[in-house]
Structure 1
Amino acid sequence: MSINQNPEEFYSKLRDKLEESTTWPSEYLYKFIVPSDNQKIAELENIFDNMGAVIHTKQSSKGKYTSISINVKMNNAEHVIEKYKEVGNKIEGVISL
């Protein structure tokens, strides 16, 4: 998300792009970076639990951060945005890519 952009404006533009470019339901790839903290990683994985998500993690070379890729079938653009908001509200220090 751009620093100069408010969250609602960002999500509105994302919603428009997703609705234009995607036929729903569809696979969606989330990418996050979190501090390498097992509790934060587990919290992020729990948000996508019981959704059939395929989750891959990779620690940075110095071990300070972990990148997490989550591939999951989503029903619509609004559902995608709801998950981004849930992650942002529950996990401190997460970066959404």
Structure 2
Amino acid sequence: MLDPYKRLEEILKEDDSWPKAYMFKFIVPNQDDKVNIVKAMMPEPNKVVMRSSKDLKYVSVSLKTTVKNADEILDLYKKVDQVEGVIKL
């Protein structure tokens, strides 16, 4: 099976200036408590910014945080992948 994160991992691991600030952004369906589930996955303590779409069907969940290495980024993306319907930007 093809690893959907392989290219991102290659790009991130080319960079050797860790730790660094990184912006995570997800578009989450506003149903079945998915927004709260994704928000709870964000590392603490950080300010998570949420913004609803005009029709309230989706919520943008954004977080800028300091990460120690590429693996922290990949781990969070893989964790959020478990929530159905989330779009990762």
TM-score (structure 2 length as normaliser) = 0.86
Select 2:51's aligned residue among 51, 58, 63: 58
Within-5 A mapping of 1:5-44: 6=2, 8=3, 10-21=4-15, 23-37=17-31, 39-44=33-38
**Would you say the 8 A contact 1:33–1:66 is kept in 2?**
yes
Deviation beyond 4 Å, 4+ runs, structure 1: none
Q: Which residue of 2 aligns with 1:67?
A: 60
Query: What is the aligned-residue identity percentage?
Result: 32
Structure (1/2) with the larger helix percentage: 1
**Would you say the 8 A contact 2:50–2:61 is kept in 1?**
yes
- What is the deviation of 1:49? 4.3
**Would you say the 8 A contact 1:29–1:72 is kept in 2?**
yes
One-letter amino acid matched to 1:83: L
- What is the deviation of 1:38? 6.8
- 5+ residue gaps in structure 2? none
